[in-house]
Amino acid sequence: MSVKYKFDNESNEVLERAFQRLNYNNSSLNITLSNKEFTIDGDFNENQVKEEVYKTVYNEKIYLETLDIRKKIFSDL
């Protein structure tokens, strides 16, 4: 099976980090990232993979957008 998910509105940094995290946590899948589009090949449940990509990309986006605040919070403790 092969699926593609495109994230035109997300930055390259978010997508690159999400790509690394997806690879890191899903070693059985063949994942590539090109032109803001993930291509995933392998034997998998499509809904599960779709959710995993959504979760990974947007949790990464949230992480980067709130990273400065995270640092401030910990330095304020």
Partner 1 sequence: MTYNYFPYNFRKIDHQYFLVSNISGNFFLCKKETLDKIIHKKIDNNLEKYLLQKGFLFKEQGDFNWNNNKFKLVKRKMLPEKIGYYMIVPTLRCNINCSYCQVSRVDQSTNGYDWDDNTLDHFFKFVSKYSDKNIKIEFQGGEPTLRVDIIKKVIQWADKNKYKAEFAICTNLLNINQEFEEIIARDDVHLSTSIDGSYEIQKNQRTKSDDLAKNFFKNFEYVSNKYGLDKISALPTFYDFDQVVPTIDFYESLGLKTIYLRPVNFQGFARKKHPISKNLTEEWGKIYNKALDYIFQKNYNKKNNFMMEFSFLTNLRRIFQPGSNGHVDLRNPNFASRDNFIVDYNGVLFPSDEARMISRIGLVDLSLGNIFDGLDSEKISNYNWNQISDVNSDCIHCSYQPYCGIDTVDDLSRYNRIDLPKIKTNFCQNNLRKFDDIFSRILSNKPENILNITGHLTGIFSTIPPFSDIIYD
Of 20, 34, 28, nearest to 49 (Cα)?
A: 28
Closest to partner 1 by CB, 33 or 52: 52
Pick 15 or 60: Cβ nearer partner 1: 60
At its nearest, how many Å lie between partner 1 and the CB of residue 34?
A: 24
Positive or negative: CA dihedral 63, 67, 69, 75: positive
Question: Which residue, chain included where needed, has tokens 């990509």?
Answer: 53
The yes or no reply on residue 14 touching partner 1 (CB under 8 A) is: no
Residue number with CB closer to partner 1 (25 or 30): 25
